[in-house]
């Protein structure tokens, strides 16, 4: 019984740290302005919306991968999935939770768009280096 209690407590703590980590990643990119190229490619007007996340991640998969982005993008993708689940299931129990989850999902889409912007800049830099050689 004590082992089960420790397991539940550990999983709850891990979940809290995961959510805090993802929120810090997303918050770091929330005020970043996207380049015109990323807005054109993804169809984002000024600020990313929650529905843009899947489309931006699909475009991200076409770009060359950067090791620095891989784990944070996977974490935010999992966080986005968790938020989608929360939005769909908890809206009947707590309607304000729906608005919060929608806003967090939009921040996740903004994070993905910023990551795409960084990957495009990285690709341009690598191409410029190769052109110099």
The structure's pTM equals: 0.88
Render pLDDT for 41-96 as a digit per residue (tens, 0 to 9).
888 887 788 888 999 999 998 888 888 888 999 999 999 999 999 888 877 778 88
* pLDDT attached to residue 69: 85
Kindly report, residue by residue over 4-33, the tens digit of the pLDDT.
999 999 999 999 999 999 999 999 888 888
**49 and 110 Cβ atoms separated by less than 8 Å:** no
pLDDT value of position 110: 93
Range of the domain at 9: 2-132
| Burial (CB count <10 Å: 0-12, 13-18, 19+), residue 115 | buried
Number of structural domains (the chain) is 1
């Amino acid at each position: 019984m004590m082992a089960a209690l420790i397991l539940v407590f550990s999983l709850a703590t891990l979940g809290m740290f995961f959510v805090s980590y993802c929120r810090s990643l997303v918050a770091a990119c929330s005020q970043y302005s996207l380049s015109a190229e990323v807005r054109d490619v993804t169809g984002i007007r000024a600020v990313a919306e929650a529905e843009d996340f899947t489309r931006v991640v699909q475009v991200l998969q076409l770009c060359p991968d950067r090791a620095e982005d891989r784990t944070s993008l996977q974490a935010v993708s999992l966080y986005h999935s968790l938020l989608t689940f929360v939005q769909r299931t908890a809206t009947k129990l707590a309607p304000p939770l729906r608005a919060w989850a929608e806003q967090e999902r939009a921040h996740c889409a903004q994070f993905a768009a910023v990551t795409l912007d960084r990957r495009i800049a990285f690709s341009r830099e690598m191409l410029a280096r190769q052109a110099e050689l």
